[in-house]
Amino acid sequence: MITYCSNIHPGESFEDIFLNLQTHLLTVKKAVSPKESFSIGLRLSNRAAFEIDKKVSAQFREWCQEHDCFVPTINGFPYGPFNSAPIKEKVYLPDWRHLERVIYTEQLATLLDSWLPEGVKGSISTVPVGFRGHLTEKDYPIIRRNLLDVLEHLDRLKQESGKEIILSLEPEPGCLLETVEDTLQFFEQMGFPEELKGSLGICLDCCHQAVEFESPLESLKLLYEAKIKIGKVQISSALRMERFERKILERFCEPYYLHQVVVRRKDGTFAHYNDLPEALLSHRGDHGEEWRIHFHLPIFIEKMDHYGTTRSFIEEILPLLDREILLEVETYTWNVL
């Protein structure tokens, strides 16, 4: 199943988000899925989530039914404004240390539970715990408590409605969860009760994992062996450059989003940077065998004149995924490309 990702459209109020769906989603549905149900990957900010009371929720569900659409997943990663102002590392705040993240995520879960069709599994993608530079090990007990609160909320919803929703942490460069290996270690360290583990999984973003030079096959194997569920896979592509060209990379320096960089040196080691301007300023001498930058590029691009993309990661992973795994194409950088 592949969803229409509403995150590509600016909108913080539910009124704006709903208008985007009415304007853009129905046009796309008519073109690609006129006679079949169309799934929505819905992004709701904290503001929008709490503008939706029971009446508005029911009206939205009726609108979806009227237009043969449904919501299997919510993007609960950005809490506040995302497309309209510079955000950088603030995108992770509030993180899983903060009660605001718990309250927001539980509201999303309650809404999704009311919208999910019978027999459809749901997912909520969320921050990879937090930005690594913001966290210390002293934060782990409160992080565990907060995640546990949400897992217990998901369990209560499941007992009442029979619907399954997976809270899906989304590994990302520069965060506490960067790689699949980081994720496995974190899940083991948290030690959640066995009866709640099934409600916690990951959102695997192809762009993020490709930037980390992860292997699609090995990543899926590790997750399968650890019995960690994949709530959804975000089909996205990163910037890739084998021959260092500073002037080309400088074009991708912009003030809105964080563009983490991983450089593979000729000796096989890696250099990590939290943002592209920092990488360009800090990197000296051996500029590396290959640069990969967290900059979401259109997935139809494989190579331009001076740089390439990590589209090959997408091509490798898609045949390996179970057919029921939810897919979402997320290219939110159109406003800065």
Integer Cα distance of 333 and 337 in angstroms = 6
Q: What is the DSSP letter of 116?
A: P
So what's the architecture of 2-238+310-329 in CATH? Alpha-Beta Barrel (3.20)
Residue boundaries of the structural domains of the chain: 2-238+310-329, 241-308
Question: Residue 334's pLDDT is what?
Answer: 47
pLDDT at 216: 98
Q: In which band, very low, low, confident or very high, does the pLDDT at 77 lie, cut at 50, 70 and 90?
A: very high
Do the bridges between strand 290-297 and strand 270-273 make them parallel or antiparallel, or are there none, so unpaired?
unpaired
Q: Is the peptide bond before 94 cis (omega within 30 degrees of 0)?
A: yes
Beta bridge partners of 75: 43, 125
* DSSP state string for 267-282: TS-EEEESSHHHHHHH
85-140 pLDDT, tens digit per residue, is: 778 999 999 999 999 999 999 999 999 999 999 999 999 999 999 999 999 999 99
Q: What is the pTM of this model?
A: 0.95
Q: Which residues contact 269 (CB under 8 A, 6 or more apart)?
A: none
Residues 6+ apart with CB under 8 A from 212: 173, 178, 179, 262, 292
Asked whether 233 and 324 are in contact (CB, 8 A), the reply is no
